[in-house]
Amino acid sequence: MPPHKIGFITGLTAELALLKSTPYLAAAGGGTPEGAAGAATNLIAEGATALISFGLAGGLNPALRPGAILIPATVIEARLARACDPALLAWLGGPTDATIVAGAAIAATAADKASLFTITGADAIDLESGAVARAAAAAGIPFAVLRAICDPAERDLPPAALVALNAKGRIGGLRVLGAVLRQPRQIPALLVLSADAAAARAMLKARLAALR
């Protein structure tokens, strides 16, 4: 294990739960860049000396399937490439041949994802990694990213998935129910998304178990 007190920042509490029995600091940002920035700042105040952006990512590269693990060497934000720390990358298992773009909002449709893939060349998108990278740079501490693909590039997200989270990163059952009642035809897509998210979390859990 690196000589650091490591803080993991997630978007959702579902990913935060994976870290419950680990020796690391952890906090959920609620699925927004602003929330991730606040969570990172709080973990640094608690003594974190290295930060890792952790959780699910949306696929931009059509070759990446649900569950694919991403340990990017760089995070792209506003056309700036932020390098992840080599020692943390090695500890996580070594960098994968993929990059992540820091999004300000969810890439909800296949068209959105294709456009981002063309413009940025990034393989995946998440909403926390850019904020984590900036917080780490401001504090002068290393950072890295450990993510798993949830929704692949060719898939539109169902409308309920876009309203599901509250500010703490929890999935609100009433929000989802209301969206489903308004558009019941999205139920099959929601079930597929749920299965893919579970597969991605299983891969993240296995990777955490392998860390030493």
pLDDT in tens, 4-16: 899 999 998 889 9
Q: Is the pLDDT score of 178 beyond 80?
A: no
More confident residue, 190 or 144: 144
Predicted local confidence at residue 160, as pLDDT: 66
Residue 191 sits in a domain whose CATH number is 3.40.50.1580
Is 36 part of any domain?
Answer: yes
Q: Is residue 124 part of a domain?
A: yes
| pTM of structure | 0.89
pLDDT tens per residue, range 38-51: 999 999 999 999 99
pLDDT tens column, 44-89: 999 999 999 999 999 999 999 999 999 999 999 887 899 999 999 9
CA dihedral 203, 18, 104, 131 (to 10 degrees): -110
What are φ and ψ of residue 66, in 5° steps?
-55, 135
- The pLDDT confidence band at residue 185, using thresholds 50, 70 and 90, is confident
Q: At residue 166, does pLDDT exceed 60?
A: no
In a domain, 171, yes or no: yes
Domain membership flag for residue 1: no
How many folded domains does the chain comprise? 1
Dmax (CA) for the chain in angstroms is 51
Rounded distance between C-alpha atoms, residue 191 and residue 206, angstroms? 23
- Give the structural domain span for 198: 6-210
- In the numeric block, the tokens 């981002």 are attached to 116
CA 88 to chain centre: 17
Q: Which of 199, 157, 195 is nearest to 69 (CA)?
A: 199
- 193 and 108 in contact (C-beta within 8 Å)? no
